[in-house]
Amino acid sequence: MAEDVMLNEAIQAVRQGQRARARDLLTRLLRADQSNPEYWLWMSAVVDTLKERAYCLQTAQRLNPADRRARRGLVLIGAATPDQHVVPQPPVRRKWQVDVLQEPPTGIRALWSRPVVRLAVFGVLGLIVIGLILAGIFSANRPPAAVAARPTKTPGPPPTFTLTPTALGGKPTPQVSPSPTYVGPKPLWMLLEATYTPTPLYVNTPHPISEAYRAGQRAFERGDLTTALNFFVQASQVEPNAPDIPYYIGEIERALGKFESALEYYNHALELNPNFAPAYLGRARASMALDPKADVAQDLQAAIKQDPGLGEAYLEWAAYLLARQDAETALQAIEAAGQVLPDSPLILLYRARLALLQGENEQALELAQQANQRDRTLLPAYLTLGAAALANQDFMQAREALELYVDYAPEDAQGWLELGRAHARLSQPDQAFLEFFETPDEQQVQAALRAFNRAVELDQKNPDLYFYRGLLYLATGEGQKAVNDLFRARKLDVKSFAINLAMGRALLVAGRIRDGYAQIDGCENLAADERELAAVYYWRALAGEKLRLDAKVVADWKALLAMPEDALPAGWAETARQHLSDLTSTPTPKPSPTAKPSATATSTRTPAPEPTYTSSNP
């Protein structure tokens, strides 16, 4: 079978040290059949990191538990403990010191061992020394010969050759530095997608006069960026008018995190050829890396216009639109990308994000799972899978996906935020005005706080980070800490209904009833639909009961019951009827000669101070 032939070729490549070829062959086999444990076992021999190797071996062991090779591999890399019955083999004691046998001398050594020979040699040497002394004495009075002295060669440092910067479109070429050392898992574009979902190079222009260009392409394909940069710089000196060479240099600079430098090279490529579609795409990506909110619509549309077959431009355009919640246009971009790249797992991934945006949570989870199955090493799929699982209240699946995601993307605040929500069992912003599904235990609370705190360290301008941490404090009854976080969130998003209503609830839990009532009362102007307006009636009525504002409380309960049933969360209508009944029922008077006057709010309560919001760190 063709698969067997390809597997044998991959095994031979592994044994011959051709890791790149072996990885490419095994990648194709895995894309065709991910349930073959033999493919995973051999793939573990050519991946770059211990985490990848452990993943491959664990997959092979899961698919074939009887194969002990995967188990031994996991033990050797420290990812598994040895079996209990394994007894270490005692070391073999050997006698390392042996008697040295003296061999009889031969050749010159045998001749020198004779006393007569040694005496003769010393005699000849003595005569030579005496002759030299006498020659020096008798030649001292002779005039010096007029001869030129032969010049001596003084050893010194070898000549150095300094590479003079040359102009590439009027700017110096980049200084090539040693290969960067990556801390933690390798970037996804180098480590995962290039390994399991290789995308052919879009730019493959023939450059017959420049071998450096072809060498740069080969180095770029295998992820050796420093070598590729060296070769492309050389190629740019031979072919200064080729737009794809500065484009490749820009791609390398972008991959190394040098986004401003990358922009210069993309711009230079477009100066050489304004119709060069990949440079528009690269410039858009570099701009968004510098500023995620950058307006790159013009560049992305230019890339699509210049080359309607550039599938990656459609995918980037779809991601851009999804980030801006433009569901209708994003759907068109996803469909167009599917026509060009039908097998790309990003199509499924972006469909999952679109479903989340449209509130179709079950479909979103199904699509995210399909994207993850299509390519298990597509890291963004784990973030979307976690978010979809959260939306469906599948907290265990959400934690599993998000823990893996932050392991590979530890600097992504959004990933830590979603992981914190999974630990805290906070599935949606509506929990600002709903009862919590289940109060998390102490271990979950601490895990959630660690995730939220890490997210805040990475991004202090995202109101959602403070909002969800405030909800966690609210769920655990720490009212003032909740107030502090929700106050910060409201400063960043003053018009958010969920944040403002959660602030009112937090004030109630903190014992600041009047402040809480006033805060909830102000939310009525922010309510955007009947569900939010119902939340105002519900929580304002509960707060009003504590202040004995009976007339207002009755009005709120009646207004709540007058709303459509589908606008009310489960249990709210029954709560409203019960409280309304208690407030409007006429109690039977007790036989008492003297009626005891009822207490009023104004005569028994000291006015509360104005609300103050502290910002102490929790």
pLDDT of 177-223, one tens digit each?
443 344 444 444 343 443 444 444 555 556 655 678 888 888 888 88
Exposure string for 490-502, b = 16+ CB within 10 A, e = fewer: bebbeebbbbbbb
* Structure confidence at residue 90 (pLDDT): 55
- Candidates 467, 473, 468; CA nearest to 445 is 473
* Structure confidence at residue 57 (pLDDT): 86
113: left (phi over 0), alpha (psi -120 to 50) or beta: alpha
* Token pair for 17: 């040290």
Long-range pairs, 576-585, Cβ under 8 A, ≥24: 576/538, 576/541, 579/541, 579/545, 579/553, 580/554, 583/550, 583/553, 583/554, 583/557, 584/554
For 282, residues 6+ apart whose C-beta sits below 8 A from its C-beta are 247, 250, 251, 254, 262, 266
**What are the CA-CA distances from residue 220 to residues 20, 178, 190, 231, 478 (Å)?**
12, 15, 10, 10, 54
* Structure confidence at residue 298 (pLDDT): 95
* Structure confidence at residue 138 (pLDDT): 59
* Structure confidence at residue 105 (pLDDT): 61
* Structure confidence at residue 203 (pLDDT): 58
* Structure confidence at residue 202 (pLDDT): 58
pTM here?
0.62
Long-range pairs, 508-514, Cβ under 8 A, ≥24: 508/479, 508/539, 508/542, 508/543, 508/546, 509/474, 509/477, 509/478, 509/479, 509/482, 510/479, 510/480, 510/482, 510/483, 511/479, 512/483, 512/608, 512/611, 513/543, 513/546, 513/547, 513/608, 514/547, 514/608
Surface-to-core class of residue 169, CB atoms within 10 Å of its CB (0-12 exposed, 13-18 middle, 19+ buried):
middle
For 385, residues 6+ apart whose C-beta sits below 8 A from its C-beta are 352, 365, 368, 369, 371, 372, 397, 398, 401
CB 303 within 8 A of CB 313: yes
- Candidates 176, 162, 192; CA nearest to 261 is 176
C-alpha 36/C-alpha 29 separation (Å) is 9
Question: Which residues of the chain fall short of a pLDDT of 70?
Answer: 1-2, 83-113, 116-117, 134-210, 435-439, 586-618
Domains of the chain plus CATH, in order, are 2-76 (1.25.40.10), 423-436+448-526 (1.25.40.10), 531-584 (no CATH)
Q: Which DSSP symbol is given to 431?
A: G
Which residue is it, tokens 């949570």? 361
Alpha helix ranges (H) inside 476-586: 479-492, 497-509, 513-522, 530-546, 550-561, 572-584
Question: At 167, is the secondary structure helix, strand, or coil?
Answer: strand
Ordered DSSP codes for 315-338: HHHHHHHHHTT-HHHHHHHHHHHH
Which residue is it, tokens 């009755």? 554
Share of the chain above pLDDT 90, in %: 47
For 192, residues 6+ apart whose C-beta sits below 8 A from its C-beta are 377, 378, 379
- Candidates 522, 523, 512, 521; CA nearest to 553 is 521
